[in-house]
Structure 1
């Protein structure tokens, strides 16, 4: 029986953030809301408050939440019994100003996670950076709960944060429990499908939209910090041949990056894959149909789609994301 599902693209959902800017305008086709800083575009989200909608084809207007409920086997394949909702949340971030210093709980810190949610491990791929960009990832050696707590009170947290100047293409893995923030960069973010964030410090600034300081969660943040996460820098990609490298390999997501100007294969049999185009454009071929993908697009390949041929129009930079099955070995892109 032919599947009703096909390669699916989604509408971005824009989010106001006081630290945001307007750079997502050049990355995504959908116009930004006027006259306010946009820090995040949620490009694949199965959240009650912001569920992604299919942007074209027969299922246009369907949310990812509806698809997960109505077509779990076709969408998730061998993973269909593991997840009630799509397990990843994908975003583009425009960090014009510095974000709050923050931390996310791990999956096993149930006390700090709302019912139905998870911990939050995430990773970034830097799309744009400048000479004054900074990524803060991990603590400096010797930082502990006591001296970090005092630093929060004295507005001197920065001295306890490891930082580096990122460059375009850098990939950074932020395990749950890692203190982190960033400024002056545009990044792609993949994370567990969670919105649990504890602000440790917010640079003593006022959010002009609400006219006051944003709320901090210092006690919860301190409780969730892994103080062994220090001096985090860019990951070293693993070359997997055919102009493909593996950036991240975690229990929650695996991410490959392909930079190619000739045809290659994407997707895999009986498991979903996600494509994110961060440079260039091209077409995916499935059942005698062409599905275009352009810079800024996210495309979900349902498990029923399987492997497909992808043809770039020119050199393309394409991320392919898999959801690992912890009970089964993971197969690399072909």
Structure 2
């Protein structure tokens, strides 16, 4: 594949049944929800063998993200091509209608709990919709130990050890690997390391309607991965980097990803030289201009800008809000 054949890429969403899910993602994505089961996750950008993202339009329609990286690592990943053999992040929309299990993910250092081919899992959320019963549980209360947490699992009082807050639309929350967490009655955008390793500590007595049984817990592994020094986790305060021609706020920056929010109604620049970027439209609409072509951007649209695409002009039609995601060296 010639670098010139790459362009701003859209991918088909990959819907996932979850017993705690709902139907609110139909308001965020144009692809219809499958069947009548609750959908908890839409995987927006996934370079995984089990659920690969597929280009949805243009000359490269039908190609997977993994195929594009294998064929053109530097045009896709730019100066990061030597660091990654696959796209290192997994992007999702979550509709958490009920409450997510209380869970924890291992860090990269805890290799004994990470299957071959996986990594640790630091993740972050940006709240898109908050319901009347919305809640985020993140971290542990001071004084929580493995002993009293095990007792709480047995007697159903785990929530007593979890600091929590009621989130609002626009809040961003960083969940480092090893942090105990859960959330409920929310629609969020999630960015995470490209890993599917989760250990359930407690599941609120959920029964899976497909099996009629509680879901399995992984208490031993979860306990081993918990960072008991992690206190309460609160929303991250945005840092204003620029106010014109667009309000540019840094929401999150860690060793795995960077995330900015761009808000405005005047034309502004997105993308970067020799770095891939991902755009997630969360409000309003507009057009992205590249190489003489226009690409529509509306609520819920997700576009990967391969590194070779570089900087582009985004032209809003009225007020618009974009999230722009960068990989580590561009954070």
TM-score over 0.5 for the pair: yes
The equivalent of 1:200 in structure 2 is: 201
1:130 Cα deviation after fit: 2.3
The equivalent of 2:100 in structure 1 is: 99
Matches within 5 A, 1:224-235: 224-235=225-236
Aligned equivalent of 1:273, options 248, 254, 277: 277
Distance 1:314 1:227 in 2: 47
Matches within 5 A, 1:64-79: 64-79=65-80
Q: Secondary structure at the match of 2:130?
A: strand
Aligned equivalent of 1:315, options 319, 323, 326: 319
Q: Secondary structure at the match of 1:105?
A: coil
Distance 2:146 2:318 in 1: 51
Give per-residue Cα distances to partners, 1:302-325, cap 9 Å, x unaligned: 000001111011211100010022
Q: Does residue 110 of structure 1 match 2:121? A: no
Distance 2:291 2:132 in 1: 46
The equivalent of 1:246 in structure 2 is: 250
Matches within 5 A, 1:100-249: 100-242=101-243, 243-249=247-253
Q: Secondary structure at the match of 2:328?
A: coil
Q: Does residue 286 of structure 1 match 2:290? A: yes
Distance 2:279 2:118 in 1: 25
1:297 Cα deviation after fit: 1.0
The equivalent of 1:300 in structure 2 is: 304
Q: Secondary structure at the match of 1:84?
A: coil
**Distance change in 2, residues 1:2/1:12 (3 Å):** closer
Distance 1:241 1:265 in 2: 12
The equivalent of 2:14 in structure 1 is: 13
Distance 1:188 1:257 in 2: 12
In structure 2, stretches of 5+ residues that fail to align are none
The equivalent of 1:4 in structure 2 is: 5
Give per-residue Cα distances to partners, 1:88-144, cap 9 Å, x unaligned: 000000000001000000011000001111000000000000232100011111101
1:34 Cα deviation after fit: 2.0
Give per-residue Cα distances to partners, 1:22-48, cap 9 Å, x unaligned: 000011000001211000000000111
The equivalent of 1:48 in structure 2 is: 49
The equivalent of 1:62 in structure 2 is: 63
Answer whether contact 2:3 2:72 (CA < 8 A) is retained. Answer: no
Answer whether contact 1:131 1:165 (CA < 8 A) is retained. Answer: no
Q: CA RMSD in A?
A: 1.0
Q: Secondary structure at the match of 2:177?
A: coil
Distance 1:190 1:118 in 2: 14
Distance 2:205 2:184 in 1: 16
1:2 Cα deviation after fit: 5.5
Answer whether contact 2:125 2:189 (CA < 8 A) is retained. Answer: yes
* TM norm structure 2: 0.97
Distance 1:143 1:108 in 2: 23
Distance 2:120 2:279 in 1: 24
Distance 1:241 1:290 in 2: 26
Detail structure 1 runs of 4+ shifted over 2 Å in the superposition. Answer: none
Q: Secondary structure at the match of 2:223?
A: helix
* TM norm structure 1: 0.96
Give per-residue Cα distances to partners, 1:215-239, cap 9 Å, x unaligned: 1000000000001111111000000
1:281 Cα deviation after fit: 1.2
Distance 1:264 1:4 in 2: 24
